[in-house]
Amino acid sequence: MTAVESSISLPELAALADSSLDTIVSLQDPSGAYPASPTFSAYKGYSWFRDGAFIADGVSAWGGAESASRFHDWCSRILVSRRAQIERIVTAADAGTPVPDAEMLPTRFTFDGAEGADEWWDFQLDGYGTWLWAVVEHANRHVLPLEQWQEAVDLAVDYLVSSWRRPCFDWWEERAEEVHVSTLGCIAAGLAAAGPSLTGDRALAAKAAVQEIRALIRQDGLSEGHLSKWLGSSEVDASLLSVIRPLGVFPAEGSIGRATIAAIDAQLNVGGGVHRYAADTFFGGGQWPLLSCFLGLALLAAGDRDRAIEQLRWAASTATPAHELPEQVDDHLLAPHMRQEWLDRWGTVATPLLWSHGMFLRLASELGVKA
């Protein structure tokens, strides 16, 4: 730990969490959408199901129940308004003639629920699973009736049950030809969370899909005992931490949990700052505070509270003087020669990145650092 990190006191961490909640709530669109980053060129005007689900979870955990509910309302409206598209996708998959990737649901939407005119790496399944998990966590945490979101929950379940085997872009919007283990984990977590609210054939299908996904991960998604980046890969990716905590698909103390935390800690964590994966070149391949928080959550679940607090401190050390958390920092780059190319293409690193603030809230809440 550096001197800067160790000097960040618990009340300062709590204050940064409070200001993180303010940042997120003040930037939430009246529609309920959470912008990924308000000013960053490539993200401006869009909200992602993946980012948003984790942001809503952090907000919900830090006491922002009303804001999180409004985000879930927004997601619900989008899913319900796309009922015909989802039914078409499910019917085609059942008939053995799946629709092309371009006709699947996108990963991000404009705040009014449209797809937007900009080209994107849009076909990603994880966000719909993470949303299911987050909305159920939120309803349980605040004892809210899930029925208000049930129609959308049912649609998301049908979509994922029909399509979870398809290769798609991963969390980092890369490698569309692979089946990514963290994507499978997000889907399994969402279907498992939705389970108790489902009835009839839908309940049976969701349960069967969770079992099949878990079996497939055990069969093809492990390497030397740890979760691997995609089926058949031997690499790790820090997104796999989420499958342990907070998604809980594999327990932190189990053999898969322990091996995955150890591999990511050894290969991708440099002094508390966590890289996405070893070959990352995006903005030079820096360290992501949101991933440091995922590592903190996993370490805490594995019983290492001291190291979990160190992870929160490291994330706090990346805040700007205006208390904004960036997407990544450049203190330790895996591919320094690639940094300028991205700066020229998209401008300065996304700051604030609301997902970073959301993960900060979730770890701070789990550590009980509330002022």
Instruction: Please give the structure tokens belonging to residue 222.
Output: 């492990």
Residues 333-362 interacting with ligand BGC (rule: CB under 6 A): 355
Bridge partners (DSSP) listed for residue 46: 110
Strands (E), the chain: 46-48, 108-110, 222-223, 226-227, 269-270, 273-274
Interface region with ligand BGC, contact rule CB under 6 A, candidates 81-89, 152-160, 165-173, 246-254:
165-173
Residue with tokens 């919900």: 60
- For the annotated catalytic residues, the residue numbers are 170, 173, 327
Binding-site member from 20, 21, 50, 210 for ligand BGC (CB under 6 A): 50
What is the distance between the alpha carbons of residues 83 and 69, in angstroms, rounded to a whole number?
Answer: 21
Instruction: Give residue for tokens 């780059």.
Output: 333
Q: Find the part of the chain contacting ligand BGC (CB under 6 A) among 1-9, 45-53, 161-169, 299-307.
A: 45-53
Under the binding rule (CB under 6 A), the answer on residue 56 touching ligand BGC is no
Least distance (Å) from ligand BGC to the CB of residue 350? 7
Q: Least distance (Å) from ligand BGC to the CB of residue 71?
A: 15
Cβ-proximal residues to 259 (8 Å cutoff; 6+ apart), any chain: 224, 225, 226
Distance of closest approach, residue 241 Cβ to ligand BGC, in angstroms:
14
- Candidates 158, 173, 280, 310; binder of ligand BGC (CB under 6 A) is 173
* Residue 172 lies near ligand BGC (rule: CB under 6 A): yes
Cβ-based burial of 175 (10 A; exposed 0-12, middle 13-18, buried ≥19): middle
List the one residue out of 316, 351, 341 whose CA is nearest residue 1.
316
Nearest CB to ligand BGC, comparing residues 209 and 268: 268
Among 16, 36, 134, 293, binds ligand BGC (CB under 6 A): 36
Q: Which amino acid is at 303?
A: G
In the chain the first and final C-alpha atoms are separated, in Å, by 23
CA distance 249 to 106: 25
Q: Pick between residue 310 and residue 327 the one whose CB is nearest to ligand BGC.
A: 327
Q: Which stretch binds ligand BGC (CB under 6 A): 44-52, 191-199, 209-217, 240-248?
A: 44-52
Alpha carbon distance 206, 209 (integer Å): 5
Return d(Cα 308, Cα 287) in angstroms, integer: 17
Residue closer to ligand BGC, measured from CB, 90 or 350: 350
Least Å from the CB of residue 303 to ligand BGC: 29
Site string for ligand BGC, 275-314 (x = CB under 6 A): ----------------------------------------
Smallest separation, CB 108 to ligand BGC (Å): 7
CB of 37 to ligand BGC, least distance (A): 6
Residue 219: helix, strand or coil by DSSP? helix
Minimum distance, C-beta of residue 140 to ligand BGC, in the bound complex (Å): 25
Rounded CA-CA distance 255/299 in Å is 14
Question: Whole-angstrom Cα distance, residue 74 to residue 34?
Answer: 10
Contact 236, 263 (CB under 8 A): yes
Per CB under 6 A, 122 contacts ligand BGC = no
- Which is closer to ligand BGC, CB of 209 or CB of 230? 230
Looking at the Cβ atoms of 294 and 355, the one nearer to ligand BGC is: 355
- Residue from 111, 171, 277, 314 touching ligand BGC (CB under 6 A): that is 171
Tokens of 282: 């995006």
User: Looking at beta carbons only, is 65 or 342 nearer to ligand BGC?
Assistant: 342
- C-alpha to C-alpha distance for 331 and 347, rounded to whole angstroms: 18
In 73-206, which ranges are E strands?
A: 108-110
Stretch that binds ligand BGC, among 166-174, 289-297, 299-307, 308-316 (CB under 6 A): 166-174
The residues of the shown chain that bind ligand BGC, judged by CB under 6 A, are: 36, 43, 48, 50-51, 171-173, 355
